[in-house]
Amino acid sequence: MGIPSAPIVTKAFKDLAILNAAKRGMPHERICFTQHPVWGKTPDELHAYIEGQDPVSNKPFMKEVVDALTVPLSDDEKKSGMVTVSVGPPTFTDTAENLQDFYLNNGYTDFLPVILPTEEKVDAMLKGTTHHPDEVVGKMAAGAYPPWSYTVRQVAASAVMAGCRPEYFPILLAIASTGIASLFSSTNSFAFSMIVNGPIRDKLEFNYGIGSLGPFAQANATIGRAWTLMSKNLGNGGIPGDTYLGSVGNNLNYNNVVIAENEEASPWDPFHVQRGFKKEDNVVSLFRGLGVVPGQVARGSSANENVQFDYQLSDLFSTFTGFFGALVIADPLVAVRLKEQGYETKEKLIDWLYKNTTQTVKDYKSRNYAYLFDYPRALRGDEPWASWYKMPDDAVIPHFPHASDFNIVVTGGQTNAYPQAANMSYGVSASIDKWM
Amino acid sequence: MNRRKLLSLLGMSPVVMAAESALAAQSEKKPVAPVTTHPALARLATGPAKITTVNPKGTPPAIQLIPMAPRLDSLDGKTVYLVDTGFHGSDMLLQQIQEWFKANMPGVTTVFKRKAGPYAQDDPALWKEIKEKGNAVIMAVGH
Amino acid sequence: MDRRKLLSLLGMSPALLAGARTQAQQHDKPSKNGKSASPAEAHFTALNPKGAPPPVKLIPMAPRLDSIHGKTIYLVDTGFMSGGVLLQQMQIWFQKNDPDTTVVFRKKAGPYMEDDPALWKEIKEKGNAAIMAIGH
Amino acid sequence: MEKLGIPSVPLATKSFADLAKSNASKRGMPHIRACFTPHPVWGKTAEQLMAYVEGDDPVSGRPLMKEIIDGLTVPLSADDTKTGMMEVNVGPPVYGPDTLDGLQRHFLDNGMTDFLPVIIPTPEKVEAMLKGTSHHPDEVIGKMAAGAYAAWSYNVRQVAVNAVMAGCEPEYFPVVLAVASSGMAALGSSTTSFAYSMVINGPIRDKLNMNYTIGAMGPFAQPNAAIGRAWTLLGKNLGNGGIPGDTYMGSQGNNTNYNNIVIAENEKDSPWTPYHVQKGFKPEENVVSLFAGEDIRQGHGARRAGVLENPMFDDQISDIFRTLTSQFDALVICDPLTIKRLVEQGYDTKEKLQQWLWKNTTRTAKDYRDSAFVYTFHYPRALRGEEPYKTWYSCPEDTQIPYWPKPDNIVLVCAGGQTNPFFQVGNLTYRTSVSVDKWM
């Protein structure tokens, strides 16, 4: 922009800030650091930060700020041109045992054993698609970084490592083609999920019966895991302090939440059909958000024999953030019961949930995420947030801004009429058939 | 971690950092075992067989170096924008900085602005305003 | 799944189920996937990760009744949702179809996985047969 | 009941057909006369249920009531009256020799993994793992069952095999042994899809390089990942858990069952007493504490965040509690920044915050009773006269009652990398703490 600037960052983000500036082409950016944290401090405490020293340089903080704007640039700081980033040689040779350690110690894995991607195994994986090994599939970034690109062959390496069979490969290519990473560089600890629809669920023996979200089938387990390995290896995600900043972390990042829809036992249209695909199409749909919670704990689950799943779900949503959507994960028994209650389609239930899950403006404004995410949008005039922030405290507004924030998928083994729900938003659906 | 070590972790060549000509850098990392053993021979050997595996990494883009903007001779008489990107507490921090300037460098005009839009998104109107009316920027991106 | 297949999956000997003498069964050999072109072709031995299951003590079933006519049957609700309603329907069925049979409905006290010794004692003393709803 | 000499017929819904049979076998009655109704019973009207009663048993295809009466009256066969002991076979002690690929497939196809690649437990690798403890490989250290089944027993070597498979290093072995010695399986057999968690305390966290800072609960460190995964493999292989339709009945499953929720407490950055010290251990002792329950959820959706510069975490945590079930307790995981703020608010000990949260998180008796879990689990205990459930069921509907019987039902631990003052809440109940040092 031609305007000298001095970024101020708290000490906790030191490495990140330097790396980030370098990735954007300014390896020498003059960053000034304050003590951490700033949030929750009084004006007096912050005043002391300013009068004190930069905890990284140990020089007076304000001198650092003024110097950053006024000290003439060095030769390095004026440099332009291109720098290439290396990721090491194309292959490694050693004993299987040493390579297992090497992959683990170099951050290629999720810190669990992998199938070593020998050329033979990668070639076998490549037989799972008709696409050329050198075809560029897409680009991925774990946040606001320059994305890395990758070929069919590079996707195959992560697929082998995760334990996938070659017939799973088109699903991984479909995911990779979206460019969405399952590890994201926010201080929030996000979770990711995918819904798989179409005949491929049976062809690959996905589990959508008893324990469908758990460790009970190779397709569910390895395809979910491969997404995280791709995010690390192809998208450069998951480096704590650099491309991963989630303060507390999320257990769901190991295998992601893989949901094969139980289309056969569901009384409703499958998710991909709702998105405009044909029933016989094979589709993977990606979600991002915070996590999955069980529904049977909510009120409205009824102590008598008249269970009200609609009220139960709505009650459960009251501690969800409206920043992400609500994904209802219904056991077929729940879905059938809801249909008996009059929700003939998923859309009807969504309409009811949207209208009946509400909050007061006062409660809304007191929510952490509202200030963090929605208030800036309100400032920009984005609706509905701009209106919500102008309403009186006792006005009642929807918990989620749009009916389209709700999604419904059916999975489970019908051993009990329990729903689960994820505080997650729909991202995109990708055709698997295109990658066969 | 110092800056050089951090950057070399990124795969950026230390050569570039040392102000020589910017050229494609080869990785400093050695492959674990440079010796390739023919699998057939390995099987005959008494020790465990060596195998070859592929590098699972994607292809990072080249990074375009951005020359930093020329610095000012002094801040006196200049307009400095204090930009709040919206994290908790950063507005209060910048207000304290504003007071510091009033007390210690009264010749500096400071303008406090909260960036509109979510933190990861640009605010072109604000950038335009700064370009037209400002001489320098202090941005709080912390927490 | 038929009972035999189910039990053999459990590791229970089919020989036993056919009434022969109990004997430990050899597990199938792992399939030799000889096709592999991988250099890691060397053969390895791996340990079985399974723990030791206790032997199962066979319990003879109680002698059956000649007929339930005139007998007392306990309908026991273990506490899952709607199990009680189902058993009450069954009670109505007995009243209609076999009024000579006495049907007693009881909800088991305590969580579903815990015993209710007082109830078992009562059934032992006053009942001739029991129907337990353990479903959902 | 059969043992008492009373002929009986268990009645279950069709979904439980396999389970009912294998369960009866494990209890010694392989020929039990179970009868089945269509599934589900829950949510059906009395008329619909009468149709079940008058209809066919969907497993046998014969009229249900005829099946029931036959079950009580048809004379027993020789098999039905058999007594004695029946051995259960788990296969040979070793597999192979085979290629690593062949063994990988064998372990996968035989249900001995979580369907992800394992390190093949060769004798050499198991020997190396056994060096991680001074205990004898043949020492029998516990019994485990995935539910109300006869428990399987196991020795140190069998635990080592599973630790190798999960990807553990020998130094991690004492932690895995401590978990195994508890006899608690990380896969339950309920129709509810339970989650499991462990809190690790003591100097071993640093010795093993456990991650308790940025991304503490995610896939960012080998001991966190491998120890958590080993627990699930123990549940499958030593406790015979995790067989869907038999020893695993969770209708929808739980994604946290892959690696369980491993929390190494960030003792260094916490001003509060570490969890194991609260449980009576010394700070220098190494301890693993096990939890079971429903899930873990993030605090972002809480109301009363105090919005601007005054975040009220006590209020926020309490607000998240509103959608937990009282059937399980609360395990609150706070980033160190959150705790620093709470200390500034006056909560200089965990106990003070536990007390406040317990007192201030209440609901009406009506809402309490309007929960499936409370009906299934608490109501029978109330019937039996157990307190506080008896009172909670007999008090007027508008009485405010706490979520849990005691402040101790709320557990606080510290984990996180101080990138943002966040917290997460597990609907998880403390089960037991085990010394890791005992297994060194």
Nearest to A240 among D220, D242, D370 (CB): D220
Question: Which pLDDT score is estimated for B39?
Answer: 42
Q: Report the range of poorest mean pLDDT among B32-46, C96-110, D425-439.
A: B32-46
- Suggest the residue from B4, B54, B139 to mutate for an interface test with chain A (most A CBs closer than 10 A): B54
User: Could you tell me if B86 and B47 lie in one domain?
Assistant: no
Residue B43 touches partner C, C-beta closer than 8 Å: yes
- Suggest the residue from D101, D122, D308, D338 to mutate for an interface test with chain B (most B CBs closer than 10 A): D308
Within a domain: B101: yes
Choosing from A23, A46, A78, the residue where a domain stops is A78
User: Could you tell me if A224 and A351 lie in one domain?
Assistant: yes
Range of the domain at A196: 102-357+399-435
User: Which residue shows structure tokens 């605090």?
Assistant: D299
- How far does the CA of residue A92 sit from the closest CA of chain C (Å)? 14
Within a domain: A293: yes
Structure tokens at D56: 């066919």
- How far does the CA of residue D333 sit from the closest CA of chain A (Å)? 8
Rounding to the nearest 10 degrees, give the CA dihedral for residues D327, D332, D333, D334: 170
The answer to whether the bond into A37 is cis (omega within 30° of 0) is yes
Q: Cβ–Cβ of B141/A73 closer than 8 Å? A: no
Q: Cβ–Cβ of D309/B92 closer than 8 Å? A: yes
**D95 pairs with which residues across the strands?**
C46
Q: Report the range of poorest mean pLDDT among A211-220, C11-20, C107-116.
A: C11-20
What is the percent of chain D with per-residue pLDDT over 90, rounded to a whole number?
Answer: 58
pLDDT at residue A130 is higher than 60: yes
- How far does the CA of residue B22 sit from the closest CA of chain D (Å)? 34
- CA A133/CA A126 separation, integer angstroms: 7
3 state SS of A344: coil
With cut-offs at 50, 70 and 90, classify the pLDDT of residue C5: low
Question: Searching chain C, which residue's CA lies closest to the CA of residue A333?
Answer: C136
User: Could you tell me if A406 and A320 lie in one domain?
Assistant: yes
Within a domain: B73: no
Structure tokens at B76: 């006196």
User: Could you tell me if B48 and B91 lie in one domain?
Assistant: no
Question: Which pLDDT score is estimated for C11?
Answer: 54
**Residues of B with CB below 8 A from C39's CB?**
39, 42-43, 49-52
Q: Cβ–Cβ of B134/A3 closer than 8 Å? A: yes
Within a domain: B72: no
What is the ipTM metric for this complex? 0.78
Within a domain: A247: yes
The total number of structural domains that make up chain A: 2
Of these ranges, A390-404, B79-93, B96-110, D10-24, the one predicted with the greatest mean pLDDT is A390-404
- How far does the CA of residue C79 sit from the closest CA of chain D (Å)? 6
pLDDT in tens, A79-97: 887 777 778 888 999 999 9
pLDDT in tens, D348-382: 999 999 999 999 999 999 888 887 778 778 888 88
With cut-offs at 50, 70 and 90, classify the pLDDT of residue D119: very high
**A326 pairs with which residues across the strands?**
A406
Pair A293, A316: CB distance under 8 Å = yes
pLDDT at residue D328 is higher than 60: yes
Nearest to A318 among D261, D323, D421 (CB): D323
Nearest to D237 among C49, C64, C107 (CB): C49
The total number of structural domains that make up chain B: 2
| Chains in contact with chain D (at least 3 beta-carbon pairs closer than 8 A) | A, B, C
**Residues of B with CB below 8 A from A78's CB?**
67-68
Query: End-to-end CA distance of chain C, in Å?
Result: 21
**Residues of A with CB below 8 A from B6's CB?**
15, 18-19, 22
pLDDT at residue C17 is higher than 50: no
pLDDT in tens, B42-80: 444 445 678 888 788 777 777 777 788 888 888 889 898
- CA A36/CA A247 separation, integer angstroms: 14
The maximal CA–CA distance of chain D, rounded, in angstroms, is 78
Cβ contacts of D435 within 8 Å, gap of 6 or more = D178, D281, D285, D286, D287
Residue B49 touches partner C, C-beta closer than 8 Å: yes
User: Could you tell me if A65 and A154 lie in one domain?
Assistant: no
User: Which residue shows structure tokens 């998710």?
Assistant: A271
User: Could you tell me if B27 and B52 lie in one domain?
Assistant: yes
Q: Which residue has the higher pLDDT, A249 or D323?
A: A249
User: Could you tell me if A205 and A301 lie in one domain?
Assistant: yes
Question: Which pLDDT score is estimated for D28?
Answer: 77
Nearest to A117 among B56, B72, B104 (CB): B56
- CA B39/CA C36 separation, integer angstroms: 13
Report CA A333 to chain centroid distance, whole Å. 29
Range of the domain at B7: 1-66
Within a domain: A422: yes
Q: Report the range of poorest mean pLDDT among C80-89, D126-135, D152-161, D178-187.
A: C80-89
pLDDT in tens, A287-323: 999 999 988 766 655 544 566 788 888 888 888 999 9
User: Could you tell me if A210 and A262 lie in one domain?
Assistant: yes
Residue D304 touches partner A, C-beta closer than 8 Å: yes
- How far does the CA of residue B52 sit from the closest CA of chain D (Å)? 15
User: Could you tell me if A176 and A313 lie in one domain?
Assistant: yes
- How far does the CA of residue A292 sit from the closest CA of chain B (Å)? 25
Choosing from A78, A94, A111, the residue where a domain stops is A78
Choosing from B13, B38, B66, the residue where a domain stops is B66
pLDDT in tens, D83-106: 777 777 788 888 888 998 999 999
With cut-offs at 50, 70 and 90, classify the pLDDT of residue A324: very high
Nearest to D122 among C45, C53, C68 (CB): C45
Cβ contacts of A250 within 8 Å, gap of 6 or more = A189, A190, A191, A291, D215, D217, D218
Question: Which pLDDT score is estimated for C39?
Answer: 47
User: Could you tell me if A323 and A190 lie in one domain?
Assistant: yes
Q: Cβ–Cβ of D217/A251 closer than 8 Å? A: yes
Q: Cβ–Cβ of B42/C39 closer than 8 Å? A: yes
**Residues of A with CB below 8 A from C87's CB?**
none
User: Could you tell me if B60 and B2 lie in one domain?
Assistant: yes
Question: Which pLDDT score is estimated for B47?
Answer: 55
Within a domain: A85: no
User: Could you tell me if B60 and B24 lie in one domain?
Assistant: yes
- CA A263/CA A207 separation, integer angstroms: 12
pLDDT in tens, A341-365: 899 999 999 999 999 999 999 989 8
User: Could you tell me if A12 and A135 lie in one domain?
Assistant: no
Within a domain: A245: yes
Question: Which pLDDT score is estimated for B37?
Answer: 39
